[in-house]
Amino acid sequence: MEGSPSSASLRKTWEGKPGLAGWLSTVDHKEIGKRYIVTAFIFLLIGGLEALAIRLQLARPNQTLLTPEQYSQLFTMHGVTMIFLYALPVLSGFSNYLWPLLLGSRDMAFPRLNAMSYWVFLFAGVFLYSSFPLGKAPDGGWFNYVPYASLAYNPGPNIDVYALGMVLLGISTTVGSINFVVTLARTRAPGMSINRVPVLVWGTVTASVGNLLAVPAVSLAFLMLWMDRQAGTHFFDSAAGGQPLLWQHLFWMFGHPWVYAIVLPAMGIVSDALPVFCRRPLVGYTAVALSTVTTMVLGFGVWVHHMFASGLPILSLSFFSAASFVIVIPSAVAVFAWIATIWTGRPVFNAPFLFFAGFVLLFVIGGVSGFMTAAVPVDWQLTRTYFVIAHLHYVLIGINVFPVLGGIIYWFPKVTGRLMNETLGKWSFWISFTGFNTAFFPMHILGILGMPRRIYTYADRLGWGTPNLVVSIGAFIFAAGILLFLFNVFLSLGRGKAAGDNPWDASSLEWSTSSPPPPYNFAVIPIVASRYPLWEDIMDEGPERSSIGRGLLLDKGRETVGTSPLDAEPDVILKMPGDTYLPLLLSLAITVLFVSMLLHSRWGSYAAGFAGLLATVCWLWPQRALGQIDR
């Protein structure tokens, strides 16, 4: 292992260059994963500051802190940032960092594509914010309905930036999803059959397949919108036979599966990490894994529940309402599995446990309010009110942010070699949990009182003043909890207790390697014999034992083993690419192409397209080191 001649040669093979050159050219999934998480967290803070500005404006009636134009841009960018630039990227960060470690492999199936998905995400984020300093940020709400978003009513660059930025971001999501799907199918450790992979892997691969099928809808919708605005097409223009409702269909055909894409991997985090703190395996692994997939499959058939108030035929509303009710079943399966795990386990009430248990409670509240609005008449009453805002924040913050915070505490020792401070962790949970509920629970009441979403102020006589003040105070308490969490991260980076390989005595493969893991992850590729490779001696369910320190060495260049999709039988030795600038160059070329489209620069587009083509050909040029040619 560490220190032996083979590990020295593996380190030499897998280690990146030091300094800026290494930073820009790395394809190491661990570096990319950390970068994803940090970048997504920065976007979370930006989106959070926008939310606080909104809450200051709404704290009292008739405030004039923000103009209506500023308010529209702030709530739009708040939604865009949280939903697109934080929620999925942060989970991609977890999965990028963890997958090869969970799967007993040395990298993702496509390391260079992995680097590219990060760069394009970063550039798309910057692109979406490019018009913000000019006071021309997207301002049509995150779902950007036409005709408000069409040229006649919104002539500035605001919507064009949003449209092109989303198509650009879609490229990142797509290549990232391709990488996850192929990594699952091809690069698991021998013996890790499909019924032995961690639930986080189920969640991410389900989200990824969902994204591959759903993202084209939104990319197409935004492309059509941009063409309507800039090239004279009529897709959404009712005067020339177009249909504004087509926008809503395409957007929500994407939007609803996307909701599951940004929660299923987070639910996977809980399904894997919560049992560690209950000192027992997850109750109902198979049921939870299948409910994950079922949720996504059903998620493709419910998009119209976002459009109940758009005048569609009652028959169609009934169908989509019923389908939306059915989703409760797989969600409840997961909830009962978590509760049963806590109930029948021996819970350790530490900070990550609190975040995961808190998540279960918030998920139930968000689930109930979702169930309520799945009923058409209730939805007619409550849609476009603060009730919906309450629901979606319970769902997105409850199911995404709380598991992410718990997950950071859980895997922090693996990533950094140090444990986070437990006392600060508990305080940050209780402050953010209290702040969250203070901020978002009264929104249900505001919605029932009839306060519409997206209004920049309200009159005193409406009686919404007190609940709004409570909401605003809660928002600041929540923000304080997040700040304390970040303080804990920075403090623990320098002063945290040394963790060792497996500080939580957890069951999955990432805890069998050192903390932080070496560049090559595992000195030999492990051979897996059960779902809980590190708990086999404790659980003692059979004679079979996983082989952690004994396995394929694979040290003739960068190598990992390719295995069959279901049974994980080894069938090929895969050659893995080394560090390269090509992903960065290709991402830059694509971004310049989109900037040129925004600025209507024909020659810029041609030059960027050509540069991108050149980078792609260099990328794919057959190499002997990758076993693509013999000579």
**Contact set with another protein (CB under 8 A):** 1, 4, 6-7, 109-110, 113, 174, 177-178, 181-182, 185-187, 212-217, 219-220, 224, 227, 231-235, 237, 240-243, 246, 249-250, 253, 523-524, 527, 547, 549-553, 559, 561-562, 570-575, 613, 617, 620, 622, 626-631
Nearer to another protein, 20 or 617 (CB): 617
Closest distance between another protein and the C-beta of residue 81, in Å?
25
Please write down the HEC assignment for all residues of 377-420.
HHHHHHCCEHHHHHHHHHHHHHHHHHHHHHHHHHHHHHHHCECC
Which residue type sits at 356? Answer: F
The distance of closest approach from Cβ of residue 560 to another protein in the complex, given in angstroms and rounded to an integer, is 10
Write phi, then psi, for 562 (nearest 5 degrees): -95, 135
- Smallest distance from another protein to CB 532, Å: 22
CB-CB neighbours of 402 under 10 Å: 27
Closest to another protein by CB, 374 or 582: 582
Q: Residue 27 in contact with residue 578, Cβ under 8 Å?
A: yes
Residues 153 and 237: their CA atoms lie apart, in Å, by 12
Q: How far is the CB of 177 from another protein (least distance, A)?
A: 8
Residue 88 or 396: which CB sits closer to another protein? 88
Distance CA 164, CA 159 (A): 9
Closest approach of another protein to the CB of residue 458, in Å: 37
Distances (CA, A) of 55 to 7, 45, 63, 606: 54, 15, 11, 45
**Amino acid occupying residue 182:** V
> How many other CB atoms are found less than 10 A from the CB of residue 340?
15
Task: Indicate the residue among 191 and 367 with the shorter CB distance to another protein.
Answer: 191
Cβ(243)–Cβ(221) below 8 Å: no
Taking the complex as a whole, the smallest distance from the CB of residue 513 to another protein amounts, in Å, to 11
Nearest to another protein of 496, 551 (CB atom): 551
What number of other Cβ atoms are within 10 A of residue 573's Cβ?
14
Q: Which is nearer to another protein, 229 or 280 (CB)?
A: 229
The rounded distance, in Å, linking the Cα atoms of 403 and 268 is 9
CA max distance for the chain? 82
Q: Give min distance, CB of 222 to another protein, in A.
A: 12
Minimum CB distance to another protein, residue 243 (Å)? 5
Residue with smaller CB distance to another protein, 22 or 216: 216
**Are 309 and 395 spatial neighbours (Cβ–Cβ below 8 Å)?**
no
- 250/489 with CB nearer another protein: 250
- Integer CA distances (angstroms), 195 to 25, 274, 337, 506, 512, in order: 36, 19, 17, 19, 20
**How far is the CA of 389 from the CAs of 132, 421, 451, in angstroms?**
24, 33, 11
Toward another protein, which CB reaches closer, 51 or 253?
Answer: 253
Q: Which is nearer to another protein, 341 or 560 (CB)?
A: 560
Using alpha carbons, list the distances in angstroms from residue 204 to 208, 257, 497. Answer: 6, 13, 31
- Cα atoms found within 13 Å of the Cα of residue 18, Cβ hemisphere only: 1
CB of 220 to another protein, least distance (A): 5
Dist. CA 497–CA 474, nearest whole Å: 33
Q: Smallest distance, Å, CB 557 to another protein?
A: 10
